[in-house]
Chains A and B, each alone.
Chain A
Amino acid sequence: MTMPFLEVANVTKAFGHFVALRRISLTVREGRTTALIGPNGAGKTTFYNLLSGRLQPSEGTVHFCGRPVSGQPPHKINKMGISRSFQITNIFSELTVLENVLVALIAHLNLGLRFWRIVNRDKKLAARGMEVLERLGLGPLASSRAGTLSYGDKRLLELAIVLATEPKLVLLDEPTAGMTPEETHAVIRLLRSLAAEGKYTFLITEHDMNVVFGLADHIFVFHHGELLAEGTCEEIRAHPEVRAAYLGEEVD
């Protein structure tokens, strides 16, 4: 198996004259929690949008397990095994917590056109949904309306929707943004144990360096739309340009 997991080759994204990403080439390895860091405006979210089909690259290609990602619509990319979370919490507030996860499960299991089935009576489906919720500690909230959850639980539900489609590659966009320190710790522990299961590979953007250094095996640093550096936590911590560009004010 020498086929690269996620391979980004020479990707450029321009909006008019503004170049958001410039000739990015990188490879994400399966099973290795990878972080993407960089100051605001470095192009992280644009990069995610390219990986998930929200945007198309101006130049270059993205391949996932040997199949082209660029040019595909979001739902097809999800079916290929890439699922993303959003920086702004993106759940279905009027549905119950369980229903939120069922939406993703129905998509994953291709049950959307079973017009004759009754979704609330489908015990197998509910059991699978509950399994995902319990894994994230949301089990007791299953029948609450999602809009009534606390902020931290909403972020967890967001993650539950992502995981329910059983992706191989999980793109998390600032999963702990706005969380309290306790919630942040809980999420780090959760992500670590999920990563240890070996089912998912995480790619994470994050502002909080404690989260990044606590989770990542490998780090990419974006700066002004370019790939400034990559390496292990130690390498990035010691990297002079990274320190100058970004870490200076945050690490010691």
Chain B
Amino acid sequence: MRKKIQLGVLLLLAVVLVLLPKVSPFFIVFVATEILILGLFATSFNLMFGYCGLLSFGHGAFFGTGAYVAGLLLQHLQWDFIWVLAVAPLAAAVGATLIGWLCVRLNEVYFSMLTLAFGMMVFAIAHQWRSVTGGSDGLAGFPLTEVGIGLDIVLANPFHFYYLTLLIVALSLAAIYLLTISPFGLILRAMRENTERVAFAGIPANRYRLYGFILSGLFSGLAGALFATFSRVAVPEMSHWTQSAEPILMTILGGSQYFFGPLAGAAVFLGLKTLITSYTSEWMIYLGVILLGMVLFLPKGIFGLLERWLGGRT
């Protein structure tokens, strides 16, 4: 019964997302694209946070890496977009391997602090290495290429880009979901509770954490590449700690213990942000108060609330 409800909701969501551009104005499609991309970012962040119990405060590093590599490839090599989308996440995964290798040995707040430090290091590189990254101006004005493999998609067309994003995000979420229900996912969930016990059962715990971190970085990089193409810029702020904080907020809002929690959180976060900015430029204050209330009164996020309404977990 419960499974059927979930499947039904998911199908309904898919129909709404597919039909959205037919019925809503350009502006809504624009916001929806952003929600999908940052929802993917938050979901990949949550692979470490919700499933593995490690709060990364530096995922902006991988989002930013994906964004810059995409920007650079489009600017200098004009590769077909499909190859840009293949290479940019790999670059982020390489970054995640280096950073993760050092970070996964640490626990709790020490892990968070070290990821924060590495995140700010990537930000500093993006900010300082002017000849490559364009400094504080970032990369802008890079051309949008063909998608490649014979697909007749115009990236500059927001509706086309929306559908492309929807497809890529859906495939990525499916891949991440399969990860979470694989034996690997079970080991991650066990490590969230008790890493040492997992090690004493014969699993090289730190190596598994690193694998999780690399996969998380890979999909964050994919989100970054999409975002740079979407916003037509790659700027240092994309790897700033404030960027790293966004998936944390979204995940807490939606519920870290639920696969679709981060995506729902992204929708609420960006929805509120869009709504409030249309009234006042001081949106941060209002959003802050709302977020504070939600964190205080909905400790398990929106999904936790839904679950309570629908009557307990089974």
User: Which residue numbers of A lie inside 8 Å of B, CB to CB?
Assistant: 52, 54, 73-75, 78-79, 83-84, 86, 90-95, 99-100, 102-104, 106-108, 111-120, 122, 161, 164-165
Question: Known: A94-B189, A119-B181. Contact between A84 and B198, CB under 8 A?
Answer: no
Is B128 close to A, CB under 8 A? no
Question: Known: A93-B193, A106-B187, A112-B187. Contact between A120 and B181, CB under 8 A?
Answer: yes
- Cβ-defined contact, A78 with B201, below 8 A: yes
- Cβ-defined contact, B202 with A107, below 8 A: yes
Which residues of chain B are near A92, meaning CB under 8 Å? 189-190, 193-194, 197
Which residues of chain A are near B194, meaning CB under 8 Å? 90-92
B155-204 contacts to A (CB < 8 Å)? 178-179, 181-187, 189-190, 192-194, 196-204
C-alpha spacing A211/B129, complex, angstroms:
69
- Cβ-defined contact, B183 with A106, below 8 A: yes
Question: Known: A92-B194, A95-B189. Contact between A74 and B199, CB under 8 A?
Answer: yes
C-alpha spacing A83/B200, complex, angstroms:
7
- Cβ-defined contact, A90 with B190, below 8 A: no
- Cβ-defined contact, A119 with B199, below 8 A: no
Which residues of chain B are near A117, meaning CB under 8 Å? 182-183
C-alpha spacing A178/B158, complex, angstroms:
65
Is B32 close to A, CB under 8 A? no
- Cβ-defined contact, B201 with A107, below 8 A: yes
C-alpha spacing A79/B182, complex, angstroms:
22
- Cβ-defined contact, A73 with B199, below 8 A: yes
C-alpha spacing A108/B183, complex, angstroms:
12
Which residues of chain B are near A73, meaning CB under 8 Å? 199, 204
B42-82 contacts to A (CB < 8 Å)? none
A-B contact pairs, 20 of them (CB 8 A): A74-B196, A74-B200, A78-B199, A83-B202, A91-B197, A92-B189, A93-B193, A95-B190, A95-B193, A100-B190, A107-B202, A108-B202, A112-B187, A113-B183, A114-B183, A114-B184, A115-B178, A117-B182, A117-B183, A119-B181
CB distance from B176 to the nearest CB of A (A): 11
Which residues of chain A are near B192, meaning CB under 8 Å? 94
Question: Known: A114-B182, A114-B184. Contact between A75 and B204, CB under 8 A?
Answer: yes
Please give me the residue from chain A that is nearest to B180 by CB atom.
A119
Please give me the residue from chain B that is nearest to A109 by CB atom.
B183
Partner of A103, one of B178, B181, B201: B201
What bracket does the count of chain B residues touching chain A fall in?
20 to 34
- Cβ-defined contact, A119 with B189, below 8 A: no
Interface centre among A54, A75, A94, by most B CB within 10 Å? A75
- Cβ-defined contact, A102 with B202, below 8 A: no
- Cβ-defined contact, A112 with B208, below 8 A: yes
User: Which residue numbers of B lie inside 8 Å of A, CB to CB?
Assistant: 178-179, 181-187, 189-190, 192-194, 196-205, 208, 211
Which residues of chain B are near A93, meaning CB under 8 Å? 193
Which residues of chain A are near B193, meaning CB under 8 Å? 92-95
- Cβ-defined contact, B183 with A90, below 8 A: no
Which residues of chain A are near B182, meaning CB under 8 Å? 114-119
- Cβ-defined contact, B200 with A99, below 8 A: no
CB distance from A149 to the nearest CB of B (A): 15
Partner of B202, one of A78, A94, A113: A78
CB distance from A193 to the nearest CB of B (A): 23
C-alpha spacing A108/B202, complex, angstroms:
7
C-alpha spacing A248/B16, complex, angstroms:
77
Question: Known: A93-B193, A95-B189. Contact between A112 and B199, CB under 8 A?
Answer: no
C-alpha spacing A113/B208, complex, angstroms:
9
Which residues of chain A are near B190, meaning CB under 8 Å? 92, 95, 99-100, 103
Which residues of chain A are near B181, meaning CB under 8 Å? 118-120
CB distance from A18 to the nearest CB of B (A): 23
Which residues of chain A are near B196, meaning CB under 8 Å? 54, 74, 90
Per CB-CB distance, the 10 closest pairs between chain A and chain B, nearest first, are: A78-B202, A107-B202, A104-B201, A103-B190, A74-B199, A106-B183, A107-B203, A107-B201, A92-B193, A111-B183
C-alpha spacing A95/B187, complex, angstroms:
11
- Cβ-defined contact, B205 with A90, below 8 A: no
CB distance from B295 to the nearest CB of A (A): 21
- Cβ-defined contact, A78 with B200, below 8 A: yes
Please give me the residue from chain B that is nearest to A94 by CB atom.
B193
- Cβ-defined contact, A75 with B199, below 8 A: yes
